[in-house]
Structure 1
Amino acid sequence: MLNITNIHSPQTPFDDEVAAPSQFSLRWMLGTVFRFKRLIALISLVAVAFAIIFVLTRPATYTATAHLQLTNLRLTFSRDDAFFAETQLDPTFIETQIQIMRSERIALAVVDNLKLPDQPQESRGGGLSAIIGELGMMFAPRPPDAGVAGAMSDPKAAALKMVQRGLSAERVSLSNVVELKFTAPDADQAARITNDIVRAYIVDQNMARIDAAQSGSSWLRERLREVGPKTRIIAAAMPPADKSNVRGILIIAVAGILGGAAAVTFALVMAFLDRSVRTPEQAAEATRSPFLGVVPVMPLLNKSATKAKPNKELLLKGAFQIPPAALCAIKAVKQNELWHTLRNARFASDENLRGGKFQVIGVASLIRGEGCTTIASNLAISLATAGKRTLLVDGDIYTAGLSRRFGLAEERGLIEYGTGRQSDLNKFVKIDQETGLHFLPSGAKHGMKSLEWLDKMPNLIAGARETYDYVIFDLPPLTMPGDIRAATKFIDGILLVVGWGNVSVEHMQVGLSMAHPVHSKLIGCILNKIDMGSMRWIPSRELDFIRLRKKSVQGQDFASLPSLR
């Protein structure tokens, strides 16, 4: 079980008075949509693409329509004679007649009369439209008397399914008129089958009345033949002139809307399950340390992370050159969030270490790729440009990221100092002529697994105390807990860099628990590589304050801002 109760977490007077904004709010949902906008757009486009393919590959269809008037006559007797009267129709009578029209018996009569099995069937198309058609048949309600088709030969069964699939009948409003429709790939075939369905239904109706009249006397039999449902054809089916397909633009629009809705739902579920650190509040909760600021994603900082080529002329003089992109990132007036964060980190370390004139600060992260090396180098550069005597040490002996960035990966440094006989630190330090920053590479033997070099760390710190104001260590990640525990013995404070969306709160807590001595050394945490564009949609008081500050200083001359002095 994790034990993080001892992690340093200074409280502010407002912590208990102001409730944190609700995570699952309208703002959170809008922020999620903005964050996953590319995924949502991609899924919507895929849905639209499938709809376009369907529209282009579906066969043309024609729908013929016939209108029938249904009546129900009954035999009424008076004192002198008997006569026929029309009964008032109820919905059950109309629905019964519609089910008879859709029955398999009527469809079989049409198939046999028109000899549909002997006629070539129109192609229903292939590809996506065929698949959708088969799925529609699977989930469509089965008509009455279904099941007989299974005992037929394949051609007759196929013709029967074709008739049942294309037939529809429904009552027109509250009248006793039934609209009968049949859809087929051919206009003439649609009209022919529609009219034959009407014929088969009327024949079936007449036969039912004749069968019912057989039980009566000869006088009554003639009259009973006119009793019961009767149908009058109001309008026979004619070959339709226009296609009955649903408009393609409507299908595409609906597909886009449904695809977008599905994508938004998927994005919200992903965001709900996402436990990665994306707000300052989450970073402070995970590290139990003060939040010191954010560093946005900046192209200049990304360029400075590339490997530099060694300058042999400078190396002969014991010097090196900081990549211009790194210097521009520090000096650029538009990147004010970096300036605020580095300034806040510097003074937070002064407060944490009670204003000591000499400070050893380590910069670490949970995993690689969170920007720890970038923050360490930029903090050191900013201190050096402010006139502070600063030594930057590449303490990550496994990757030597800082040394590669400055083109000093093959130069002697920390490892050679710690394992060799040379005790003069100046023999290994390289100096940047423009900023005055001193840099100690990891060493030409970087990647070694031995920790012998740690034995001379007290000597390094003692020697640096007389020469420097700040020593900044770029440390290995917390996934190397042994190295971090060893580093805490000679480091005064640690700045923890948290990559935006890189790690979860739980993983951060596990990492801090494994490297427990870090707890008492934490100065604060920095949220790095944050997407400033989506910042306005993230429910966070800290980010709201930063956005307010950014808005309030727009148009200010940043060249006149004070340095880190």
Structure 2
Amino acid sequence: MLQTNPLQTDRTRLPLMQTPPDRMDGAGIGELIKLALVFARRQYLVIIVTAALVTATSLIYLRLVPPTYTAQVQVLLGNPRAQFIEKQSLLSEPLVDVAKIETQLQIIKSRATAVAVISQLKLADHPDFKEYGPSLSSLWRWIRRWGSKLPEHSQSATSDEPSETTIANFLDRLSASRVGYSHVIEVNFSSSDPVLAAEIANAIAKAYINDQLEAKFEATRTATSWLRERLRTLGEEALTAERAVEAYKSQNNIVSSGGKPIDEQQITELNTRLAAARAQSSEAAAKLARYESLLSSDPATPSSIGNLDAVGADATNSPIITALRQQYLELTRREAELSARVGRDHLAVVNIRNRMREFRTSIFDEVRRLSEISRSDFELAKQRQQEIEKRLSVAIAQSRLTNSAELTIRDLESRAKSLRGLYETFLQHYMGSAQQETFPISETRIIFPASAAQTKSKPKIKVVLGIGLLGGLALGILLAFVRDVMDRVFRTSSQLEAALELPCLSLVPVLSLPKQQRLTARLQQTQEDLNQRILPAVPDIHRAVVGMPLSRYTEAIRSIKLAIDHSPAKTSNQVIGITSALPNEGKTTIAASVAQLIVHSGKKVIIVDCDLRNPSLSARLVPKAVDGIIEVMNGDRSLEEVLWRDPRTALAVLPAVQRGPVLHSSELLSDGSICKLFESLRQSYDYVIVDLPPLSPLVDVRVTAPLVDCYVLVVEWGRTKIDVVQHALHTAPTISDSLIGAVLNKTDIKAMARYDTYRSDYYDDSHYVRYGLSSS
């Protein structure tokens, strides 16, 4: 089992697929959808190919089955009587019920309909409707006659009516049914010829509708003559009623505006104004009462101004009262202090009380002035209220004189409107009836005519293709899932957190530097720089964070630095060890980039190469170094004699020089001299970045726990096996306890879109091109 890190919070260590139950209700569905989309984006090719193969098999099956085409026509059933007749009738028209719809279905499938269509389209000699046609009953009769060696030939009809065989074959191919619970009937007719099937289906529907038209035409003609006479009578009555209304208004001198009498509108307006005036008078009276209540108290007593705030906003917002109250409160404070110090009867205290009395008197004078203003407002509001009441009384008196006349007007207007509305209704019905008489239209109509079917009805193409497509998708998803399970490398941050129980500190993208720039950087290093132990000034891959401050790569390094500074352990992480499970995972580049980023922010930083067997950091940064950390530990050189510095960022580098095979590197890293060296580095530098060996091939990292405050694990994206990293951490429990997190290095950002929905589009390739670097 992996050693869990006690310094990590539960939320940080919890993998994505192990969300707590109390959070699954809100975010579980969203996370599942996100995982499904990522899985489909990653394995879409396997799913598509498998689905295509299965679908192709379904198409081959459809190709081998003989086709049958079915034409469909939909007919809407309606009332045989005209709509206006139904409205004017005392007895309502019975609704179209189930029994009536079933009756209409039988009429459509009757022999009479079949005979009419066969005669109209001359189908008696068509091969599909002969005695040995393709219907099942005809086929069964043909088999019986063939078995008895007594074949019979169809006799030609002596009249225009088709034979029984033709009618039977016709009805075998015909079907009619109700669409759901609606009044729509669907008529289906099957044939080997799609054009003929559509023609017959439409002919069946038209034959049924023609019978409905004949019945409706007769009913419409009878109703039109009755409406004409009724319309003339209603027009005369409506005109007489309207003239009576106008004559009565003229006799009584009644004028209205907007449908209401002028007097009524005036009363409504005065009522509204009176309510507002009464509210204003009540408010002024209440304010005046509060002023009088305050003025009734004696200004000589100190408690007389205690109820000053209850007067209202006029008193509290008065600048004069506010200034007087501030001075009064100041005198109160001084009087209390002097009384405690020299006594209440001292002359100075008595003088202050006299001044306080004067201030109270001044406040009361100002309140009295405000009271007079409030009294004036109250009298003005009362006068306005009385004036409106007088006008309202006059208006009410005038309105009462016209009430009886208005009642008569309303009765006359109501009768005139009723007659005019009835006349308009009958006029509309008459116009519709006149139109229907010349061109009758049946409510039983074709709402969806049949057309030549483009696809065969048997076999069901959609069903077969749907089964093939869904089966292919299911098989493709199964194969893709098996393929995805076999991919045992790190691809996403959530996968890393779930497998290692560590937070993913950052996703570091792939960063590459052209070889030409790297060679140029080494050629430009002069002999003077070597003597002064100065690093090359030309940008290298380890200086990418300085050369590309706005790049995606630099932002990923900033995430690592932020995790180091804000570790949940709440301890100072001064010495940071960078390691990995396997070689060539990019830990050296990460260590150099973190050091360059920290030193660029103004901190003193040193990077130490503790990979004594393979000092790749020293080989890249200081390939000309002759002395290093081993010489300092042995006492052959001092620390200052082996340090190299970057003139651009002031980064200090303590290299490791490999003069030959190092057989006991773990003993060197656990020696007391290196502990003293790191104590000296802690006192001289703000941060000490240590490039450590990998965990799996060597045991050197396990002995560095006393030297390092925290560790950062570097894992290469898409290459490092999950089992390898888990085993490496299991065999190094002391290192696992001090890990603050893992870094997913060399991440292919474009490929990450197939594994995770996170993708930062803010940092584009222009940042890399600007600084002469390339990132994939």
TM-score grouping bracket, smaller chain normalisation:
0.5 to 0.7
The match for 2:71 is none
- Structure 1 residue corresponding to 2:729, chosen from 501, 512, 525: 512
Shift of 1:87: 11
1:458 equivalent to 2:675? Answer yes
- Structure 1 residue corresponding to 2:619, chosen from 404, 421, 437: 404
Which structure shows the higher helix fraction? 2
- Structure 1 residue corresponding to 2:151, chosen from 60, 79, 85: 85
Structure 1 residues 305, 471: closer, same or farther in 2, change over 3 A? farther
- Structure 2 residue corresponding to 1:482, chosen from 687, 699, 718: 699
Instruction: Give the Cα separation in 2 of the matches to 1:409 and 1:316.
Output: 10
TM-score, reference length from structure 1: 0.52
Matched residue of 1:471: which SS?
strand
The match for 2:9 is 10
Q: Which runs of 5+ in 1 are unaligned?
A: 48-70, 77-82, 89-172, 175-259, 559-565
Instruction: Give the Cα separation in 2 of the matches to 1:334 and 1:423.
Output: 37
Aligned AA for 1:4? Q
Asked if the contact 1:412–1:444 (Cα under 8 Å) also holds between the matched residues in 2, the reply is: no
Shift of 1:430: 0.9
Shift of 1:401: 1.0
Matches within 5 A, 1:339-378: 339-352=554-567, 354=570, 356=572, 359-378=574-593
Matches within 5 A, 1:164-183: none
1:444 equivalent to 2:658? Answer yes
Matched residue of 1:534: which SS?
helix
The match for 2:646 is 432
Matched residue of 1:374: which SS?
helix
Q: Deviations over 1:13-59 (max 9, x none)?
A: 9963266734995423333247xx7x999x99xx9xxxxxxxxxxxx
Asked if the contact 2:530–2:624 (Cα under 8 Å) also holds between the matched residues in 1, the reply is: no
1:27 equivalent to 2:37? Answer yes
The match for 2:742 is 525
Shift of 1:270: 2.7
Aligned AA for 1:435? T
Structure 1 residues 265, 442: closer, same or farther in 2, change over 3 A? farther
1:277 equivalent to 2:490? Answer yes
Instruction: Give the Cα separation in 1 of the matches to 2:563 and 2:520.
Output: 31
The match for 2:755 is 538
Which of structures 1 and 2 has the bigger CA Rg? 2
Instruction: Give the Cα separation in 1 of the matches to 2:519 and 2:694.
Output: 20
Instruction: Give the Cα separation in 2 of the matches to 1:431 and 1:86.
Output: 114
Shift of 1:465: 2.2
Asked if the contact 2:615–2:658 (Cα under 8 Å) also holds between the matched residues in 1, the reply is: no
Q: Deviations over 1:93-145 (max 9, x none)?
A: xxxxxxxxxxxxxxxxxxxxxxxxxxxxxxxxxxxxxxxxxxxxxxxxxxxxx
Instruction: Give the Cα separation in 2 of the matches to 1:487 and 1:276.
Output: 28
Aligned AA for 2:586? G
The match for 2:629 is 414
Structure 1 residues 5, 525: closer, same or farther in 2, change over 3 A? closer
Aligned AA for 2:488? R
Moved more, 318-327 or 260-269: 260-269
Aligned AA for 2:581? L
Structure 1 residues 30, 303: closer, same or farther in 2, change over 3 A? farther
Q: Deviations over 1:166-209 (max 9, x none)?
A: xxxxxxx99xxxxxxxxxxxxxxxxxxxxxxxxxxxxxxxxxxx
Instruction: Give the Cα separation in 2 of the matches to 1:301 and 1:375.
Output: 18
Asked if the contact 1:481–1:514 (Cα under 8 Å) also holds between the matched residues in 2, the reply is: no
Shift of 1:343: 2.2
Shift of 1:402: 0.9
Instruction: Give the Cα separation in 2 of the matches to 1:431 and 1:24.
Output: 48
Matched residue of 1:473: which SS?
strand
The match for 2:540 is 325
The match for 1:388 is 603
Instruction: Give the Cα separation in 2 of the matches to 1:3 and 1:328.
Output: 35
Shift of 1:367: 0.8
Q: Count residues in correspondence.
A: 348
Asked if the contact 1:329–1:335 (Cα under 8 Å) also holds between the matched residues in 2, the reply is: no
Q: Deviations over 1:244-300 (max 9, x none)?
A: xxxxxxxxxxxxxxxx99999866543221121111112223332222111111234
Asked if the contact 2:2–2:500 (Cα under 8 Å) also holds between the matched residues in 1, the reply is: no
The match for 1:216 is none
Aligned AA for 1:462? E
1:501 equivalent to 2:718? Answer yes
Q: Deviations over 1:400-451 (max 9, x none)?
A: 1111212426532122222x32251111111111111111111132641223
- Superposed CA RMSD in Å reads 4.4
Structure 1 residues 464, 523: closer, same or farther in 2, change over 3 A? same
Q: Which runs of 5+ in 2 are unaligned?
A: 54-141, 155-191, 194-472, 769-776
Which structure shows the higher strand fraction? 1
TM-score, reference length from structure 2: 0.39
Asked if the contact 2:604–2:685 (Cα under 8 Å) also holds between the matched residues in 1, the reply is: yes
The match for 1:294 is 507
Structure 1 residues 308, 395: closer, same or farther in 2, change over 3 A? farther
The match for 2:690 is 473
Question: Percent identity over the alignment?
Answer: 27
Aligned AA for 1:294? L
Aligned AA for 1:271? D
Asked if the contact 1:307–1:405 (Cα under 8 Å) also holds between the matched residues in 2, the reply is: no
